[in-house]
Amino acid sequence: MLTADSVPSYIDSRPALSALVDTATLEVREVGDGNLNLVFICKDPAGRGLVLKQALPYVRLVGPEWPMTEQRAAREAEALGVHGALSDDVCRLLDFDPEQFVMALEDLSDHEVLRSRLNRGGTFEGTAQRVGRYVADVAFGTSFLALGEEEFRVRAGAVVNPELCSITEDLFFTEPYLGAERNSVRGGLAATVAEYQSDAGWIGGAMAMKRRFLTVQEMFIHGDLHTGSIFVRYDDAGLSLKAFDSEFACYGPIGFDIGSYWANMLAASARASALGNESRAARLRGTVKDNWHAFTQRMWQMWPQRRDPSKYPDSFLESWLDSIRVDAFGFAGCEAARRIIGLAKVSDVEELPDAEYVAAASEMLRWSKTLLTGRATLSFSDIEQRAVIEQQSDGGTS
Ligand code: SR1
Ligand code: MG
């Protein structure tokens, strides 16, 4: 394991890195606040910097009792390389050390994690559009339409990520529905969760989405595209947005990335609403539609570049987009539930005082039910206006 003290000599030992910073005067801070890895920000007095991220042989959130392959660093390096070649909105990979499972990444410490920005009430103009464009660039560029069928299968086979997918299969698709030791809620919500867990429609929707996750290979997905996996910076040049933390990447359904992002924007909205800021909450809900429009617009822009236009008429893309939208609603429903009930929580809701927590968490659970059971018929104005969840009973908690 790297430590703040060993990082300078480690950088000296890596030809791709040693000239990038002055290791004699380097300041190193361990900042890993994610669930899995060690992260060091390294800066020299001249302002040059880089970030080292090392995969530990276990899940950091839980400890050595939950072993986890360090090969996830290789999966992330691969995803950063492929995604970064297709989109500028991806954190740049500077080096990968397959022996110590260390990635060197561009220093984005002048950026802010989108979730932190949203939690403190910051602006978010343009973020939904950029995320939509990023997903479309990667979706189209890693699909069989761009790669051709044979190359597509080779690429999909080369990046299987069974151990990390298995975490998703458990935490995202199973434990919130069937119950698990590591689930938790507070403020009297346990009874509401128990009601949900006896709702066959809700559970059936989630299991249908689990089947989609396991069986659909449309693109090289990020695999964990929440607001904590997106850096943003606003300055005179406008918005800089960078997706990072793609260790869960694999070939999977496009709607998984889109829906994960949507549910996290709904968490930000539920937080704003619980804090009494309804106009901000509505604007945050509006990002779901903005994101979808940007995604579809970009897919149509790329469409003429498909390898075999004669095989695939425009109606193919129209119906493909319909199915991605339905998937995205469904996956958003799973993400909304698991971020409240399951092991991996979101600070948007978790850090609220009890009364506000109950309001925001209940809203997320209602979204989950609406999204999972209504995914085939929901509209973006249903999401924006929220009336669709206001009719729902929530066990008397709001
Ligand atoms: C044990 S890992 C828990 C969660 O953290 C990651 O960011 C993923 O969202 C995963 O489900
Ligand atoms: Mg992560």
Q: Distance between alpha carbon 200 and the CA centroid of its chain, in Å?
A: 27
Ligand 1 midpoint to CA 25 (Å): 35
Atom of ligand 1 nearest to the CA of 343: 3
Label the pairing between strands 63-67 and 58-59. Answer: antiparallel
In 3D space, the residue among 36, 30, 31, 53 whose CA is nearest the CA of residue 343 turns out to be 36
Q: How far apart are the first and last CA of the chain?
A: 47
Question: What per-residue confidence (pLDDT) applies to 398?
Answer: 42
Per-residue pLDDT in tens (0 to 9) along the chain, 398 residues: 899 999 999 999 999 999 999 999 999 999 877 778 999 999 999 999 999 999 999 988 888 999 999 999 999 999 999 999 999 999 999 999 999 999 999 999 999 999 999 999 999 999 999 999 999 999 999 999 999 999 999 999 999 999 999 999 999 999 999 999 999 999 999 999 999 999 999 999 999 999 999 999 999 999 999 999 999 999 999 999 999 999 999 999 999 999 999 999 999 999 999 999 999 999 999 999 999 999 999 999 999 999 999 999 999 999 999 999 999 999 999 999 999 999 999 999 999 999 999 999 999 999 999 999 999 999 999 999 999 998 786 544 44
pTM: 0.97
**Token pair in block for residue 302:** 């790329």
Residues 309, 307: Cα–Cα separation, whole Å: 6
Beta bridge partners of 106: 50
Rounded to whole angstroms, the Cα distance separating 284 from 58 reads 35
Position 396 scores a pLDDT of 41
Q: How far apart are CA 379 and CA 33, in angstroms?
A: 36
Among 37, 72, 171, say which to mutate for ligand 1: greatest number of ligand atoms within 8 Å of CB.
171
10 Å CB burial of residue 110 (0-12, 13-18, 19+) is exposed
The pLDDT assigned to 394 comes to 54
Residue 284 burial (CB count, 10 A): 23
Residue nearest to atom 9 of ligand 1 (CA): 224
159 Cα: distance to centroid of ligand 2 (angstroms):
18
Count CA within 13 A, CB hemisphere, residue 253.
26
Q: Which atom of ligand 1 is nearest to the CA of 59?
A: 1
Q: Which ligand is nearest to the CA of 344?
A: 1
From the alpha carbon of 36, which atom of ligand 1 is closest?
Answer: 2
Q: What is the pLDDT of residue 61?
A: 84
Report CA(344)–ligand 1 centroid distance (Å).
Answer: 6
Nearest atom within ligand 1 for CA of residue 172: 11
Angle at which helix 127-141 crosses helix 254-274, to 10 degrees, equals 170
Residue of 224, 226, 350 best suited for mutating to test ligand 1, as the one with most atoms within 8 Å of CB: 224
Burial class of residue 312, CB neighbours in 10 A (0-12, 13-18, 19+): middle
Could you tell me the distance, in angstroms and rounded to a whole number, from the CA of residue 35 to the centre of ligand 2? 6
Distance (angstroms) between ligand 2 centre and the Cα of 390 equals: 31
Residues touching ligand 1 (Cβ under 6 Å) are 35-36, 59, 61, 167-168, 171, 224, 344
Instruction: Tell me how far the alpha carbon of residue 391 lies from the centroid of ligand 2, in angstroms.
Output: 34
Q: Which of 258, 274, 394, 264 is nearest to 336 (CA)?
A: 264
What is d(CA 48, CA 71) in angstroms, rounded to the nearest whole number? 29
- Ligand closest in space to the Cα of 168: 1
